[in-house]
């Protein structure tokens, strides 16, 4: 598994079943660049448990607006289409793993 | 700065200087970041009576000894501000302005000069409160922002933010003059910037808006940017475990993040120069062991 880049038309379909982790980011955001490889590595580690997606907030302002995102990176966990948790800012891999796991 | 340093040391007080010396003795490549004239807290001390070998030494003289020692060992001080430290697993990425530098180990020796957060600040961080205008500016396109700046260099960030935001209220806490008159002079090409000379007191989220309480009344906006000189260690290093206002360390000066060590006042009392120097030495030796274990 790896992190799949998606845009708003695919969003609802992507999160509708199971546990999905969505990383909202932007190309100009330093902490997002640092978080990307951490998420990539975590998606391998948690393959089969959660699906990982990445979304550019500049390309998808509608979704960013919908979740009231004021700061990025913003990582949200969805369970069967419902947002169950969020995490703002960079976090090291062990902490990010714990964050996803407690929402499984 | 493309290479990866063995160890990045942040802070040029006794802990940072001591760590840099020991790491260099142990043949590690060192990036020492901090004030080029070493920490103010050393040079401003009136008299230090318990530094072995240097009885009754004025702080300014001790600072000079530190500088001489670094010079003799050819350890340069890089006088730049680290805004974030990212634990990437087997290395660290340090954000210095808009640049990233890598190091295998990090020693945090930044002292305890950071102030207390405002009421409501921690709860709303990332949810309307931000520490980085250049990072989050694009999210404020067509919106209103309040910026609290602690140094004149933040004025550049205000200009940048005002390019995107509909309105920016700037509170320069470092200025004494009449602020209202300053806006046209400070931001001649940004008519959407209003400068206010007030004292921020607290932050609250109300009806989806951020409200900054000040001694001159409330200011409401979509977001509040706090641009400080120094941030608390937990915000500088995401994921770092704290013990109250200090960084939690063990006897090896190791933190909860593998490869990241802390030394000096930042680890807790007593706030003594000689204790800091000792901890810097321990932290450096622990960092050396960590670096060697990575190479195996």
Inter-chain residue contact A89 with B238, CB threshold 8 Å: yes
| CB B214, CB B171: distance < 8 Å | yes
What pLDDT, on the 0 to 100 scale, is given for residue B126? Answer: 82
In this structure, the answer to whether residues B135 and B220 fall within a common structural domain is yes
In this structure, the answer to whether residues B23 and B87 fall within a common structural domain is yes
Residues 225-254 of B with CB under 8 A from A: 238-239
Give the CA distances from residue B78 to residues B47, B60, B96, B107, B231, in Å, rounded to whole numbers and listed in that order.
27, 20, 11, 15, 19
pLDDT digits (tens, 9 = 90+) for B208-258: 899 999 999 999 999 999 998 777 898 899 999 999 889 999 999 999 999
> For residue B95, which residues of chain A lie inside 8 Å, CB to CB?
30
Domains held by chain A: number: 1
Inter-chain residue contact B238 with A74, CB threshold 8 Å: no
Inter-chain residue contact A28 with B86, CB threshold 8 Å: no
Question: If pLDDT is split at 50, 70 and 90, which confidence band does B179 have?
Answer: low
Question: If pLDDT is split at 50, 70 and 90, which confidence band does B177 have?
Answer: low
In this structure, the answer to whether residues B238 and B94 fall within a common structural domain is yes
What pLDDT, on the 0 to 100 scale, is given for residue B2? Answer: 64
Domains held by chain B: number: 2
Inter-chain residue contact A92 with B87, CB threshold 8 Å: yes
Closest chain A residue to B97, measured at CA: A30
Q: What is the mean pLDDT of chain B?
A: 91
- The residue segments making up the domain with residue B41 are 4-114+231-295
> For residue A58, which residues of chain B lie inside 8 Å, CB to CB?
138
| In the predicted structure, residue B180 carries a pLDDT above the cut 80 | no
pLDDT digits (tens, 9 = 90+) for A57-83: 999 999 988 998 888 999 999 999 999
What pLDDT, on the 0 to 100 scale, is given for residue B174? Answer: 85
What pLDDT, on the 0 to 100 scale, is given for residue B263? Answer: 98
Inter-chain residue contact B130 with A34, CB threshold 8 Å: no
* Last-in-domain residue among B227, B242, B257: B227
What pLDDT, on the 0 to 100 scale, is given for residue B176? Answer: 64
What pLDDT, on the 0 to 100 scale, is given for residue B65? Answer: 97
The domain spanning residue A96 has which CATH number? 3.40.30.10
Interface test with B, best of A71, A74, A96, A99 (most B CBs within 10 A): A71
Question: Which residues, including other chains, have CB under 8 Å from residue A87's CB and lie 6 or more apart?
Answer: A74, A75, A76, A96, A99
In this structure, the answer to whether residues B244 and B144 fall within a common structural domain is no
pLDDT digits (tens, 9 = 90+) for B16-54: 999 999 999 999 999 999 999 998 889 888 899 999 999
Distance (Å, rounded) from C-alpha B60 to C-alpha B67?
A: 11
| In the predicted structure, residue A32 carries a pLDDT above the cut 60 | yes
Segment A21-25 mean pLDDT:
96
In this structure, the answer to whether residues B46 and B102 fall within a common structural domain is yes
The domain spanning residue B180 has which CATH number? 3.50.50.60
What pLDDT, on the 0 to 100 scale, is given for residue B211? Answer: 96
Top-confidence residue, B132 or B28: B28
Q: What is the 3-state secondary structure (H, E, C) of chain A?
A: CCCEECCHHHHHHHHCCCEEEEEEECCCCHHHHHHHHHHHHHHHHCCCCCEEEEEECCCCHHHHHHCCCCCCCEEEEEECCEEEEEEECCCCHHHHHHHHHCCC
In this structure, the answer to whether residues B128 and B217 fall within a common structural domain is yes
In this structure, the answer to whether residues B148 and B175 fall within a common structural domain is yes
In this structure, the answer to whether residues B238 and B250 fall within a common structural domain is yes
- The residue segments making up the domain with residue A57 are 4-101
Check CB contact of B55 with chain A, cutoff 8 Å: no
Check CB contact of B64 with chain A, cutoff 8 Å: no
* Last-in-domain residue among B199, B227, B255: B227
Question: If pLDDT is split at 50, 70 and 90, which confidence band does B178 have?
Answer: low
pLDDT digits (tens, 9 = 90+) for B70-121: 999 999 999 988 989 999 999 999 998 778 999 999 999 999 876 778 999 9
Closest Cα of chain B to A56: distance in Å?
A: 12
Question: If pLDDT is split at 50, 70 and 90, which confidence band does B172 have?
Answer: very high
* Last-in-domain residue among B207, B227, B247: B227
In this structure, the answer to whether residues B153 and B216 fall within a common structural domain is yes
Q: What is the mean pLDDT of chain A?
A: 94
Check CB contact of B84 with chain A, cutoff 8 Å: yes
Closest Cα of chain A to B88: distance in Å?
A: 6
Inter-chain residue contact A92 with B125, CB threshold 8 Å: no
In this structure, the answer to whether residues B173 and B145 fall within a common structural domain is yes
Distance (Å, rounded) from C-alpha B213 to C-alpha B120?
A: 10
Name the phi and psi angles at B137, rounded to 5. Answer: -50, -45
- The answer to ipTM > 0.90 is no
Inter-chain residue contact B239 with A91, CB threshold 8 Å: yes
Distance (Å, rounded) from C-alpha B83 to C-alpha B237?
A: 9
Distance of CA B264 to the CA centre of its chain: 15
Name the phi and psi angles at A48, rounded to 5. Answer: 90, -20
What pLDDT, on the 0 to 100 scale, is given for residue B127? Answer: 86
In this structure, the answer to whether residues B103 and B131 fall within a common structural domain is no
Closest partner residue to B89 among A28, A57, A93, by Cβ? A93
Closest Cα of chain A to B189: distance in Å?
A: 24
| In the predicted structure, residue B276 carries a pLDDT above the cut 80 | yes
**Is residue A32 among the annotated active site residues?**
yes
Q: Which of A29, A76, A77, A100 is catalytic?
A: A29
């Amino acid at each position: 598994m790896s992190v799949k880049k998606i845009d708003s038309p695919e969003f609802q379909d992507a999160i509708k079943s199971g546990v999905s982790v969505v990383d909202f980011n932007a190309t100009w955001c330093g902490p997002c660049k640092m978080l990307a490889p951490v998420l990539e590595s975590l998606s391998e580690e948690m393959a089969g448990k959660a699906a990982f997606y990445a979304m550019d907030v500049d390309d998808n302002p509608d979704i960013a607006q919908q979740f009231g995102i004021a700061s990025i990176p913003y990582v949200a966990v969805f369970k069967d289409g419902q947002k169950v948790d969020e995490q703002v800012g960079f976090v090291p891999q062990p902490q990010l793993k714990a964050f996803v796991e407690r929402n499984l | 700065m493309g290479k990866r340093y063995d160890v990045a040391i942040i802070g040029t007080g006794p802990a940072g200087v001591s760590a840099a010396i020991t790491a260099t003795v142990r043949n590690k490549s060192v990036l020492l970041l901090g004030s080029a004239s070493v920490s103010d807290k050393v040079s401003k001390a009136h008299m230090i009576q318990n530094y072995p070998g240097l009885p009754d030494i004025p702080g300014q003289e001790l600072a000079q000894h530190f500088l001489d020692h670094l010079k003799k060992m050819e350890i340069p001080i890089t006088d730049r501000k680290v805004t974030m430290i990212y634990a990437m697993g087997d290395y660290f990425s340090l954000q210095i302005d808009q640049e990233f530098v890598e190091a295998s180990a990090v020693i945090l020796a930044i002292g305890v000069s950071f102030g207390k957060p405002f009421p409501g600040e921690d709860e709303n961080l990332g949810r309307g409160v931000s520490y980085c205008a250049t990072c989050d500016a694009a999210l404020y396109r067509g919106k209103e922002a309040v910026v609290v700046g602690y140094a004149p260099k933040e004025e550049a960030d205000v200009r940048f933010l005002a390019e995107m935001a509909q309105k920016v209220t700037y509170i320069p806490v470092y200025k004494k003059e009449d602020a209202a008159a300053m806006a046209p002079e400070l931001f001649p090409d940004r008519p959407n910037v209003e400068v206010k000379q007030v004292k921020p007191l607290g932050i609250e989220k109300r009806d989806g808006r951020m409200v900054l309480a000040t001694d001159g009344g409330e200011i409401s906006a979509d977001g509040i940017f706090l641009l400080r000189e120094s941030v608390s260690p937990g915000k500088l290093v995401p994921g770092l475990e704290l013990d109250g206002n200090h960084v939690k360390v063990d006897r090896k000066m190791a933190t909860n993040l593998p490869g990241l060590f802390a030394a000096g006042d930042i680890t807790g009392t007593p706030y003594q120069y000689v204790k800091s120097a000792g901890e810097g030495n321990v932290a450096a030796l622990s960092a050396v062991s960590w670096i060697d274990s990575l190479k195996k």
